[in-house]
Each structure stands twice: as structure tokens, then as C-alpha cells.
């Protein structure tokens, strides 16, 4: 899936901007703070979508790993604020930035399905993080991906956290909440 995502990123350099333009902001739940991520490698850049969300007056929080295998902590960040490598080397807000509990989280992924299944990098960081955030209240998780990352079904384990919707360069996919 990493190779497929890399090929999709190379073939569709405008995908992030196209996805952001297609985001139906009126379909997202109310939120004051949203979480995004620092794109690594061929992950779709959440920057264009974050820019649209910032224009609504929302605040941006970025994740930071305090330990290599723990849950991520979101910290408030504004363009121009300092970033420093976190415990896994990802540019993140410094410890001086206030912690935040975003109600909307834009999540990176390797693959997704229409039932909200998400295949991440394999470390379980986002599953642990979403569980922690949901202990503080409802969280809407929006997967950001290339349309070509869709699979028929993602095998899910009991600890895996599902997506609420997916946004691609082809459009918005609401996840069905009906049991199958």
C-alpha cells in the first residue's frame, strides 16, 4: 500500500488542493479546534484543507509523540509557530504549546474502506490517540486519502478506531453507521 500511495501521489500532485475544494464543510460537526498532521513521504498533504478550516475561525492542533509507542498528544499550533522533532522524529509543536482536544481529527492513512476501516502505519498511534480523545468527548475522524487507496474491506481488530468519513480528490465519502 505504501508503494501504491507513492504512485498515486506522483500521478496526482494537485490531489490535496482538489480534496480541500471538495470538502463539504457544512457536513462536518461543529468544532472549535481541529487536528491535522504533518505529512510524511507520500501522505496526502492536509495543508490545503487545514487552510480552509482555519478560515472558518477554528484553531489548529498538531500531534506530537512524547514516547515512541504511546498515544499522540495534540498541541495548538499556528503557521509560523516553532516545530521540533518529537519522539519519533516528526516535526511537531513544542511542549510549550498548549495541549488541545480537537473534536475534528484529519487522519492520514495507507488504505480505507467505506465502512470506516483505516489502515495506518502499523504502530497503533492513531488508535490509542483517538481512544484518549474520545474519553474527553465526541471526535469526528476524517480520513484524508487518494481515491485509489480504497479497498473493499480493511480487517479490523477490537482496538481499531473507525473513520467517520473519508475525503479524497474525487469527493467526500460518509461512512455508514449501519451494522452489517
Query: In this predicted model, what pLDDT tens digit does every residue of 4-19 receive, in sequence order?
Result: 899 898 989 999 999 9
For 68, the grid coordinates are 515512541
DSSP letters, 122-177, are SS-HHHHHHHHHHTTS--EEEEE--GGGB-S-----TTPPPPSEEEETTEEEEPP-
Residues 95 and 67: beta-carbon distance below 8 Å: no
Q: Does residue 2 register a pLDDT over 90?
A: no
Beta-bridge mates of residue 85 = 91
Q: Mean pLDDT for the chain?
A: 93
Average pLDDT over residues 102-117: 96
Q: Which residues contact 141 (CB under 8 A, 6 or more apart)?
A: 105, 107, 118, 130, 161, 162, 163, 164, 165
pLDDT of residue 180: 40
pLDDT tens, residue by residue, 52-89: 999 999 999 999 999 988 899 999 999 999 999 999 99
47: part of which helix (H) or strand (E)? helix 47-54
- Helix, strand, or coil (residue 63): strand
Percent of the chain with pLDDT strictly greater than 70 = 97
Domains annotated on the chain, with CATH: 2-22+37-79+86-174 (3.40.50.10420)
Least confident of 115-119, 159-163, 174-178: 174-178
pTM (2 d.p.): 0.94
Q: Where does the pLDDT of residue 121 fall: very low under 50, low under 70, confident under 90, or very high at 90 and above?
A: confident
Amino acid at each position: 500500500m505504501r508503494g501504491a500511495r507513492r504512485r498515486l501521489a506522483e500521478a496526482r500532485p494537485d490531489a490535496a488542493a482538489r480534496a480541500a475544494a471538495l470538502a463539504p464543510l457544512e457536513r462536518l460537526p461543529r468544532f472549535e479546534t481541529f487536528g491535522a498532521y504533518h505529512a510524511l513521504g507520500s501522505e496526502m498533504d492536509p495543508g490545503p484543507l487545514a487552510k480552509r478550516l482555519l478560515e472558518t475561525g477554528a484553531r489548529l492542533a498538531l500531534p506530537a509523540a512524547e514516547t515512541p509507542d504511546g498515544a499522540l498528544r495534540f498541541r495548538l499550533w499556528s503557521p509560523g509557530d516553532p516545530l521540533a522533532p518529537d519522539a519519533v522524529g516528526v516535526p511537531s509543536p513544542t511542549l510549550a504549546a498548549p495541549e488541545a482536544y480537537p473534536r475534528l481529527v484529519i487522519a492520514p492513512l495507507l488504505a480505507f474502506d467505506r465502512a470506516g476501516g483505516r489502515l495506518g502505519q502499523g504502530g497503533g498511534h492513531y488508535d490509542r490517540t483517538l481512544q484518549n480523545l474520545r474519553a474527553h468527548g465526541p471526535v469526528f475522524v476524517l480520513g484524508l486519502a487518494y481515491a485509489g487507496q480504497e479497498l473493499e474491506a480493511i480487517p479490523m481488530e477490537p482496538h481499531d478506531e473507525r473513520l467517520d468519513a473519508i475525503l479524497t480528490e474525487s469527493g467526500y465519502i460518509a461512512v455508514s453507521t449501519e451494522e452489517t
